[in-house]
Amino acid sequence: MERWHKEAIVYQIYPKSFLDTNGDGIGDIRGIISKLDYLKELGVNAVWLSPCYPSPGDDNGYDISDYRGIAPEYGTLDDFKEMLDGMHSRGIKLLMDLVVNHTSDEHEWFIESRKSRDNPYRDYYIWRDPVDGHEPNEWVAAFGGSAWEFDEATGQYYLHLFSKKQPDLNWENPKVRQEIADMINYWLDMGVDGFRCDVINNISKDFTRPYAGGNGPRLHEFLHELHVRALEPHKALTVGETWGLTPAQALELTGEKRGELTMTFQFEHLLLGRVNGDKFDPEPLDKKAFVDILAKWEVGLKDDSYPVLVMENHDQPRALSRFGDLEYPYESATMLASMLYGMRGVGFIYQGQELGLHDPTFNSLDEYRDIETLNAYKELKESGRFTDGELLAKMQYGSRDCGRTPIPWTTEKHGGFTSGTPWIKTQVDSGFTVEEQERDEGSVLNFYRKMLKLRKSDACLKDGEFELLLNEDDTSVYTRTLDGETVYVVSRYASSECATPECIPENYTVLLNNYADFGKTLKPYQSVWLKKI
């Protein structure tokens, strides 16, 4: 079934860091409402809103204690509905964050579940007896330590793939599946357009494996059931957060006839620059691999799925710092955007990315807030292998907080994010605020605006078939072809010039260019979209 996803350009809002309107230092829904025109002008037509449900905040809202409410620090349900109406009246759809692999340990289901072995909610979670007085298996949690937590009251362990305040739901229990489907219908009935589905391939566990994780035997069955009970009747759009899949596995989740998810993120390129994907263990970026991986997914999904194009989110440091060049902030930020969003797929843009932000500087451990960072620091420090300076450098390289500092709206104190004390440090660099970039024709922001407008108005860019023609010596060329039209995307991924590749057509019009001219040489980080004539 044809959905609106091929038209979608999605902007991710991390509400805590977007805009604070009541001076408590925390972004809020009224802040989002006040910036809807900004989003419209940027040219996005959908928003993915990170969790804004009631939560104790152990993992910034990814630990939900009430699936049907709005966290008081973000506003009220009425504020939420006003925001939703405001989006819809501007032609912007809303994807909420669906976090159903786990709840908070303060969710009423878990409060009940841990009371006794025969509590009606016991089987809402995954409880196991100790094995020889130890954890049931060797699984390790994403935020460090065992994935099992012993609960004195009933003498059993519960499973948590993330923090111990995020117990995993037991999807084997049909009652859990019905509760989740009902909850999804509650939001869809209210007018929400779809969901970004947090770690969704973990809902079915594979206990035969030595390491914690998902893609268990009933994954497809569970997703299809949700599709039938809630998603399909509302024509909801879903994008699954699924780490570590192959294109073939992604097709099994998103193929047109599967009746599971609409799309999944692919993050393989986001593991680059990290030894074995370990975010706190840097290695030099393999720029050729960056392009090759993106191309591999374009080709792998071409027949029966629609890719997702992403380089930043709330779990990642800023793309400019990771994949760009701080000596060429404008050129490399716009080149990365031009190269990525010229591809076939739904573009996801993380708040602040459209300004070409780089990572903020963290001067000491107490400037960090993220549970993963704080736990990793502690674990690495206890290993005794690193000096304090080395540890801080590691956190600066990989911390999720790099992407979580507030949006610099203006040149005022705290970038106009708050009139109070911000929940996390703010960094406001000259030239990197919305206020300045709106005024500057040559800003990253205005480049994004132009690029998104083009993407939307051109059928070939929307659905044209992808082909990689060249990727060597830091230069790439790919084409998008539809109904006899071809767009060429030519990108220089280096700070040196080179001769313009010969595989471009003789006659063309320039659709997009991050330099004033295009000719026989490619300038540092130059990227152009050409239409063959």
Which residues are at the interface with ligand TEU (CB under 6 A)? Answer: 59, 62, 99, 142, 162, 198-199, 241, 243, 314-315, 372, 400
If one asks whether residue 192 binds Ca ion (CB under 5 A), the answer comes out as no
Phi-psi region of 436 (alpha: psi -120 to 50; beta: other; left: phi over 0): alpha
The reply on whether position 355 binds Ca ion by CB under 5 A is: no
Q: Which does 62 bind (CB under 5 to 8 A by kind): Ca ion, ligand TEU, none?
A: ligand TEU
Under 8 Å between Cβ of 366 and 329: no
Pick 24 or 79: Cβ nearer Ca ion: 24
Can you read off the two tokens belonging to residue 206?
């594979």
Of 343, 337, 348, 347, nearest to 461 by C-alpha is 343
- Determine the interface stretch with Ca ion among 21-29, 392-400, 498-506, 514-522 (rule: CB under 5 A): 21-29
The Cα–Cα gap between 322 and 413 comes to 27
Instruction: Name the token pair of 201.
Output: 């391939």
Residue 26 near Ca ion by CB under 5 A: yes
Closer by beta carbon to ligand TEU, 122 or else 400: 400
Question: Is 198 a known active-site residue?
Answer: yes
User: Can you spell out the DSSP letters for 509-525?
Assistant: EEEEESSS--SSEEPTT
Cβ at position 38, least distance to ligand TEU in Å: 24
How far apart are CB 64 and Ca ion at their closest, in Å? 19
Residue 190: how many CA atoms within 13 Å on its side-chain side? 20
CA-derived radius of gyration, the chain: 23
Q: Choose the one of ligand TEU, Ca ion, none that binds residue 26, judging by a C-beta under 5 to 8 angstroms depending on kind.
A: Ca ion
For residue 268, the partner it binds in ligand TEU, Ca ion, none, with Cβ less than 5 to 8 A by kind, is: none
Q: Residue 71 has which token pair? A: 């966290």
Closest distance to ligand TEU from the beta carbon of 314 (Å): 6
Judged by CB, which is closer to ligand TEU: 107, or 400? 400
- Based on the shown chain and the rule CB under 5 A, indicate whether residue 24 belongs to the binding site for Ca ion: yes
Task: Pull the structure tokens for residue 279.
Answer: 């975010």
Tell me how far CA of residue 69 lies from CA of 105, 238, 326, in angstroms. 16, 21, 42
183 vs 454, which CB is nearer to ligand TEU? 183
- Contact at 8 Å (CB) between 317 and 324? no
- Work out whether 407 is an interface residue with Ca ion (CB under 5 A): no
Q: Which of 58, 73, 241, 260 is catalytic?
A: 241
417 binds Ca ion (CB under 5 A): no
The helices-and-strands tally (H runs, E runs) of the chain is 15, 18
Query: Helix, strand, or coil here: 485?
Result: strand
Catalytic one of 28, 198, 252, 401: 198
Residue 20, binding choice from ligand TEU, Ca ion, none, Cβ under 5 to 8 Å by partner class: Ca ion
Q: Which stretch binds Ca ion (CB under 5 A): 15-23, 159-167, 344-352, 360-368?
A: 15-23
Between the alpha carbon of residue 331 and those of residues 500, 501, 513, the distances in Å are: 17, 19, 10
We find the least distance from the C-beta atom of residue 53 to Ca ion, in angstroms, to be: 16
Nearest to 334 by CA among 200, 186, 193, 449: 449
Sheet holding 485-492, edge to edge: 465-472, 475-482, 485-492, 527-532, 508-513
Q: Can 63 be counted among the known catalytic residues? A: no
| 417 Cα distance to chain centroid | 22
Residue 292 contact among ligand TEU, Ca ion, none, beta carbon within 5 to 8 Å by kind? none
Q: Is 75 in the site for Ca ion (CB under 5 A)?
A: no
446 binds, among ligand TEU, Ca ion, none (CB under 5 to 8 A by kind): none
Choose, by CB under 5 A, the member of 5, 12, 15, 28 that binds Ca ion: 28
The residue among 140 and 299 lying less far from ligand TEU, judged by its C-beta, is 140
Q: 216: which 2 tokens? A: 């268990």
Piece in contact with Ca ion (CB under 5 A), picked from 26-34, 155-163, 189-197, 517-525: 26-34
Residues 275-314 that bind Ca ion (CB under 5 A): none
- Among 336, 354, 269, smallest CA distance to 526 is for 336
Q: Which does 225 bind (CB under 5 to 8 A by kind): ligand TEU, Ca ion, none?
A: none
Give catalytic residue positions: 198, 241
List residues binding Ca ion (CB under 5 A).
20, 22, 24, 26, 28
